[in-house]
Amino acid sequence: MVIPIIGLSILLVLTSTSPFSLDSNTGCNSHDWDCSLHLPLWVSETEKAAIEDRLEGWTKDLETSGADIVILASCLKKPLRPLWISQKTVIWINEVPDYDSWDFTPIILVSASSTSGVTQHRTTSEFSWNYIPGAGDDEESWARALSPNLFWNHAYDLISTGPDVCNQKVADIVEKDRVYRARRGQDAPQITVKPSISERSPCLDPDLSNITISPSDEECGIFWLGSTNLALGSSQIAAERSSNIDCVLNCDQWPISVHHQEAEAYLHLPIVSSKMDRFSLFNNLPSAVNFAKSNLTKGRTLLICCHDGEDISVCVCLAILISLFNDEGSFDDGKSFSETGITKCEMRRRLVYVCKFAIKARPSSGNLKQVFSFLNSEVAEV
């Protein structure tokens, strides 16, 4: 239910504060948009009412988060509305209305859960679902080691392959990427995927003898956070392009070779994901903040990196930003933090600031919880 809530909260903010209320092309006034809550049919009226009761609070949280609503308002011509597609959804392509004829902007939501013919006792709805906990975002359990970047690079190939050989195609793509990274000395463990019962034959190792591997498998780049002297990136980028950066904080499990000769210009903290160790990030944050403080005080630039530059490094950067910078993004050696402390709302606002620059950031909830716990422990000590 998260997407419908976010979509409606955005609409409520737009219709109440947007300066772009009238579309000059269509004459559509945003204040006339349908801002009612649209949920799938299997959601009970009780749950719908509970969501509606909390919408005002969520909308206020969005308004104060620092998200750039003005840019969204300038390009959104119709209200957002979610549409659901399940494993049993049947769509006749020739009967889908033309997009221009719709009076809303659709958000297509694909459910990872499966429908059931047996009505569950806990609901009065005629619809019943076998819910798969975490199936939508826990890609380790269903994506067969295919990362989002790999998927989008090969999306058309995977779709055109068809369901019969899709798993084999995924295995080929993942293995090619693994070999590419292994040849460059990067972390590239052998992936073993347990075949599903429905697979008629085991996956075969792909033939890589005649493959020319291209470096087009996304290099995320270096993302500078405004004028803070902080930057985010992957460990691969740090190893290849950090010569013009003063300091590197490596949060990958594996060390990297950097161009810095001074010991104080490089720190390796082997932090693992919260699924492997719930306290790994928490235990390493004091060293990370101290390293950042000692170098930022001298006006040095700092690159924070991890395996993909999307999760752990983002959380470390968030902790540094809150601990050592004020609301305006200026380094103050922790003065502002010691005086005001931290709330979940403020941490969310700072995370939005980071994501404005690090466009590929997707920090996990487990790591964000460790950041919040660390910041609270620092306040208690002060």
Task: Evaluate whether residue 38 is within a structural domain.
Answer: yes
What's residue 177's pLDDT?
A: 86
Give the span between the Cα atoms of 339 and 350, in whole angstroms.
17
Lowest mean pLDDT among 71-80, 113-122, 358-367: 113-122
Task: Determine how many CB atoms are found less than 10 A away from the CB of residue 209.
Answer: 5
Task: Evaluate whether residue 174 is within a structural domain.
Answer: yes
What's residue 20's pLDDT?
A: 44
Q: Could you tell me if 278 and 369 are in contact, meaning their C-beta atoms sit under 8 angstroms apart?
A: no
Amino acid (1-letter code) at residue 96: V
- pLDDT, one tens digit per residue, over 218-251 is 344 889 999 999 999 998 888 887 778 899 999 9
Q: What is the pTM of this model?
A: 0.65
Q: With cut-offs at 50, 70 and 90, classify the pLDDT of residue 382.
A: low
**Whether residues 107 and 128 fall in one domain:** no
Give the span between the Cα atoms of 100 and 77, in whole angstroms.
11
Domain count, the chain: 3
- pLDDT, one tens digit per residue, over 184-226 is 766 656 555 554 444 433 333 333 333 333 333 334 488 999 9
Task: Evaluate whether residue 133 is within a structural domain.
Answer: yes
In 3D space, the residue among 310, 293, 314, 312 whose CA is nearest the CA of residue 251 turns out to be 312
What's residue 261's pLDDT?
A: 60
Q: With cut-offs at 50, 70 and 90, classify the pLDDT of residue 300.
A: very high
**Whether residues 136 and 71 fall in one domain:** no
Lowest mean pLDDT among 21-35, 73-87, 305-319, 355-369: 21-35
Q: With cut-offs at 50, 70 and 90, classify the pLDDT of residue 381.
A: low
* C-beta pairs of 214-221 under 8 Å, 24+ apart in sequence: 215/180, 216/153, 217/149, 217/150, 217/153, 217/177, 217/180, 218/149, 218/153, 220/308, 220/309, 220/310, 220/360
Question: Rounded mean pLDDT of the chain?
Answer: 78
The CATH number covering residue 292 comes to 3.90.190.10
What's residue 30's pLDDT?
A: 58
Task: Evaluate whether residue 144 is within a structural domain.
Answer: yes
**Whether residues 9 and 149 fall in one domain:** no
What's residue 189's pLDDT?
A: 60
259: burial class by Cβ within 10 Å (0-12, 13-18, 19+)? middle
**Whether residues 321 and 179 fall in one domain:** no
Q: How much of the chain exceeds pLDDT 70, in percent? A: 74
**Whether residues 229 and 371 fall in one domain:** yes
Q: What mean pLDDT do residues 91-108 have?
A: 80
**Whether residues 365 and 262 fall in one domain:** yes
Strands 129-130, 114-115: pairing kind:
antiparallel
Based on its alpha-carbon atoms, the radius of gyration of the chain, rounded to whole angstroms, reads: 24
**Whether residues 96 and 136 fall in one domain:** no
Task: Evaluate whether residue 81 is within a structural domain.
Answer: yes
The widest CA-to-CA distance across the chain, in whole angstroms, is 68
Give the span between the Cα atoms of 65 and 346, in whole angstroms.
8
What's residue 136's pLDDT?
A: 57
**Whether residues 250 and 374 fall in one domain:** yes
**Whether residues 163 and 87 fall in one domain:** no
Q: How many residues does the chain have?
A: 382
The residue that leads in pLDDT, 72 or 105, is 105
The residue that leads in pLDDT, 165 or 22, is 165
Structure tokens at 32: 């006339």
Q: What mean pLDDT do residues 96-106 have?
A: 83
**Whether residues 284 and 230 fall in one domain:** yes
What's residue 221's pLDDT?
A: 81
pLDDT for residue 2 is more than 80: no
**Whether residues 340 and 282 fall in one domain:** yes
The residue that leads in pLDDT, 173 or 201, is 173
Amino acid (1-letter code) at residue 46: T
The residue that leads in pLDDT, 354 or 135, is 354
What's residue 44's pLDDT?
A: 83
Domain of residue 169 covers 120-184
Give the span between the Cα atoms of 105 and 81, in whole angstroms.
6
pLDDT for residue 271 is more than 90: yes
Domain endpoint, select from 88, 111, 134: 111
What's residue 369's pLDDT?
A: 95
Task: Evaluate whether residue 189 is within a structural domain.
Answer: no
**Whether residues 179 and 235 fall in one domain:** no
Lowest mean pLDDT among 27-31, 262-266, 288-292: 27-31
What's residue 161's pLDDT?
A: 84
